Structure 1
């Protein structure tokens, strides 16, 4: 944690994922957090996953998000890959030698998770694809392997999507576009153009049925992991703000007897508590559904997962916006401020764009029509 925290400013300034951060995660055993113990993993719970993401994000949100995306991909392999691929890949993930990147975005269609333009060509033993353009691949430059969404075959409909695992040495990779965003700079999420040929055994799940994988695994773990990261970054910032406010003889900032200060701090605390409580309840629901073998594709479950992402992305940003206002121009808004609020503000502004809320709010409203009982969590 000390190393990752000390590299947070550098990761932001240079727009890189510091290799030593990834090395530390590889060495820690955390890359196999959700991998079953029989493959050498920790077989941790959803609550463990969320707690670890929060802790990492309090040190460096970018590094935590890279790790969270990897954990989501590893869960997909554990739950959906065939025996041959699981036996080959999961021990490497658990040992920290396989960092998995997700390739779901595509040039021309943006972040629509459930469609794909680039198709695969089938041979007797392989699938081949070329020119798969992905404008955003989190940590792609450092990945050992990739989970890639592709149209099930060249004549398939865009919604007939397959998921394919490919190791780096099975691919031709060309970097496309510079990575120079406002925030989340340390995720080093530049674009890639990808071509490759892999054995049929590396198709994950049933061909053309990626939607099932997404609803049962990728969406639940992504929404839990992202929300935990955003919460961890915001609560870490709040912790630092409170320490600064209570520091004897501090220079500048609000009067500790101010009613306006009390109101702002109260609102921040309530928003953080609300996100934390909902995160815990969604972890409970996902864990219970998996134990009982119940599907998470039902409207009620999807509503709750969407609500978590929407609430966490909007409320955590609101808290940091209020923290900047509280600390003021010199102590909060400035890059030279004693608090890292300016960086976290920029990072958390991306939360609503990550699988855009503009797409998720209408989808959530449509799901609400399918749950007339209004069975609230």
Structure 2
């Protein structure tokens, strides 16, 4: 990574800004503008743009690490960053040379923030289908799209949007297109008042506009390949990294509180030591699983579309979504009513628990287990990668 020497200091600055505003953005369900500006000012929105296009040329592994670190202070900021990088990587890996050459230097130079538009009412979060039809004439694609959830959409400079491909034969013929905000009429059509993840400001939006026909990412109708090879792996590993970072931060704050001599806690209590041991074991397990899956992808020796690789990636999401929230729930029990349960506690366990409760719902675990069951039947030799 070209900027490795300065990344630690830059990240510390962004984290300080994130911490300063985290309580306010959570309380008001407000997008973390200050944290996004800090990410921009330090060049992080161009993190995964290859150096030949003016970016920092970071690997996915480095992106996962930074997302986890941001999530120690505010999981919403970590998720916003990880999802932006996912969008950029889709352009890097699947756009044709003309679109890459036109867009990637702008992301690196102008620090454009990209939002994802994949949700639709009535399809139950199914990523690989679309109801909204992308129409076209000789040189123009016409977008008319409603999305019930668009993370940071009110503040995005550009959007990657899934729609049914022109001349599609079924709802699974889905295209991915890039649109600048200046090419669209974007309007909020609802509010965002959730239990957790409040600072993601994931409001429902109506998006209408015309874009040049060459702003399709990959081939028309070929979004499934983009999803399997880029969207899903980066989503599962990026989300899991954020969940792990949030739980890591919660445990770190709790340990510091326990070691504070003013608290007068019995650090020899077998129950306390057992709970700390179990929390750390859970987090180390999630970390190891993320690291293994990241290494498998980086090695490039396995076909990412095979059942065993898909099972591994799904296992990352399923395991992290379950174990990280369990850790924070146990830490609240350990810390007690005053330090663990109160909203104004310095440990911030209450906010971490609310944020992590979304993990199993973010592409629902029940849906993923159903898909995994079919994949297990396909991998009859039960081999691991």
Deviation for aligned residue 1:25: 0.6
Q: Does 1:137 align with 2:150?
A: yes
Equivalences for 1:203-218 in 2 at 5 Å? Answer: 203-218=216-231
1:223 corresponds in structure 2 to 236
* 2:72 is aligned with 1:70: no
CA-based RMSD of the aligned residues comes to 1.3
- 1:70-112 Cα shifts (integer Å, max 9, x gaps): 0000000001111121111101212253110000000111311
> Which residue does the alignment assign to 1:320?
328
Contact 1:216 1:295 in 2 (8 A): no
Distance in structure 2 (CA, Å) of the matches to 1:19 and 1:135: 22
Query: In structure 2, what is the equivalent of residue 170 of structure 1?
Result: 183
- What is residue 272 of structure 2 aligned with on the other side? 261
Gaps of 5+ in 2: 1-14
Unaligned runs of 5+ in 1: none
CA distance in 1, matches of 2:87, 2:346: 37
Q: 2:257 aligned with 1:244, yes or no?
A: yes
Question: 1:275 — aligned with what?
Answer: 286
C-alpha displacement of 1:256: 2.3
CA deviation string 1:123-172 (max 9, x = no partner): 11111122x11111111111000000000126531111000110111111
Q: What displacement does 1:181 show?
A: 0.2
Moved more, 200-209 or 256-265: 256-265
Structure 2 Cα separation of the partners of residues 193 and 133 of structure 1: 5
Rounded to whole Å, the distance in 1 between the matches of 2:197 and 2:160 is: 21
- Asked if 1:9 is matched to 2:17, the reply is no
Look up the SS of the partner of 2:186 in the other structure. strand
Residue number in structure 2 paired with 1:55: 69
Candidates 344, 355, 361, aligned match of 2:369: 361
2:106, 2:85 → 1: CA distance? Answer: 13
Q: 2: distance between equivalents of 1:216 and 1:336?
A: 42
Contact 1:54 1:228 in 2 (8 A): yes
SS of structure 1 residue aligned to 2:120: coil
Deviation at 1:46, TM superposition (A): 2.4
Is 1:105 aligned to residue 119 of structure 2?
yes
Which residue of 357, 379, 383 corresponds with 1:375? Answer: 383
- Displacement after TM superposition at 1:258 (Å): 1.9
Deviations 1:253-302 (A, max 9, x none): x632321111111110000000000111111011111xx5x641111111
Alignment coverage as a number of residue pairs: 371
Task: Provide the rounded CA distance (Å) in 2 between the counterparts of 1:30 and 1:334.
Answer: 34
Once the two structures are superposed, residues 167-187 of structure 1 have per-residue CA deviations (whole angstroms, 9 ceiling, x without a partner) of 111111121211000000011
**Which whole-Å deviations, capped at 9, do the CAs of 1:170-207 have from their partners, x for residues lacking one?**
11112121100000001111110111211111011110
> 2:148 aligned with 1:149, yes or no?
no
Residue among 248, 258, 263 paired with 1:235: 248
Distance in structure 2 (CA, Å) of the matches to 1:281 and 1:105 = 30
Query: 2:211 aligned with 1:195, yes or no?
Result: no
Moved over 3 A (4+): none
Asked if the contact 1:118/1:154 (under 8 Å) is kept, the reply is no
Asked if structure 1 preserves the Cα contact closer than 8 Å seen for 2:21 and 2:34, the reply is no
**Structure 2: how far apart are the matches of 1:336 and 1:97?**
34
Contact 2:165 2:220 in 1 (8 A): yes
Q: Normalising by structure 2, report the TM-score.
A: 0.94
- Taking the aligned partners of 1:327 and 1:173, their CA distance within structure 2 comes to 45
| Cα distance in 1, alignment partners of residues 339 and 324 from structure 2 | 20
1:231-264 superposed Cα distances (whole Å, 9 cap, x missing partner): 011001100000101111217xx63232111111
Are 2:355 and 1:341 aligned? no
Counterpart CA distance in 2 for 1:103 and 1:46 is 21
Cα distance in 2 for partners of 1:6, 1:57 equals 14
Aligned to 1:298: 306
Is 1:38 paired with 2:52? yes
Task: Return the offset for 1:37.
Answer: 0.8
The SS at the match of 2:62 is helix
Partner residue in 1 for 2:35:
21
